[in-house]
């Protein structure tokens, strides 16, 4: 399992909001690079940052390059699914074992039963292999939108 983790360089360019320069509005460019090719193409990422900055001079364009321990997408999905199954099972056990203080019309017990059914449904979907959770993207490129439009 440890041999599937790779150390890559993440290159990210983001642009700030119009009125709030310290709040990123959108990630324009994101890519994972091996270290050797990153070093060769570092000038290109700086060029892209400058290109967007000249097109939008009142915004703050930030280039971030850092090491990332990258896990293959299939392994990431399998680990995430396993963790979510454990989490949903614990939540289901807690909902079932927790005593319900019912009100006069029985709304609380119906809400509890609805929550139990929802968690059971989510658990079944996860066990069947559905990917109903966030999987990070490996590549984003919106340079044309911000530099040439």
Summarised one tens digit per residue, pLDDT across range 56-67 is 999 999 999 999
Q: Sorting pLDDT into bands at 50, 70 and 90, what band is 3? A: low
Q: Which of 36-40, 57-61, 102-106, 130-134 shows the lowest per-residue confidence on average (mean pLDDT)?
A: 102-106
Dihedrals phi, psi of 145, to nearest 5 degrees: -65, -40
- Distance CA(137)–CA(127), nearest Å, equals 23
Average pLDDT of the residues of the chain: 90
Question: What is the distance, to the nearest Å, from the Cα of residue 23 to the centroid of all Cα atoms in its chain?
Answer: 18
Q: Tens of pLDDT along 75-85? A: 889 999 999 99
Which residue in this structure is represented by tokens 């949903």? Answer: 88
How much is the pLDDT for 2? 53
The model carries a pTM of 0.69
Q: Sorting pLDDT into bands at 50, 70 and 90, what band is 6? A: confident
């Amino acid at each position: 399992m440890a041999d599937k983790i790779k150390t890559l360089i993440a290159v990210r360019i983001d642009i700030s909001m119009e009125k709030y320069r310290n709040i990123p509005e959108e990630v324009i460019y994101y890519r994972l690079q091996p270290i050797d090719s990153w070093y060769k193409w570092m000038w290109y990422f700086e060029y892209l940052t400058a290109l967007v900055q000249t097109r939008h001079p009142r915004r703050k364009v930030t280039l971030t390059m850092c090491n990332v321990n990258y896990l293959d997408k299939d392994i990431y999905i399998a680990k995430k699914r396993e963790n979510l199954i454990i989490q949903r099972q614990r939540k289901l056990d807690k909902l079932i074992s927790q005593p319900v203080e019912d009100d006069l019309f029985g709304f609380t017990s119906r809400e509890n039963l609805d929550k139990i059914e929802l968690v059971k449904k989510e658990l079944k979907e996860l066990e069947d292999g559905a990917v109903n959770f966030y999987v990070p993207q490996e590549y984003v490129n919106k340079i044309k939108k911000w530099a040439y439009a």
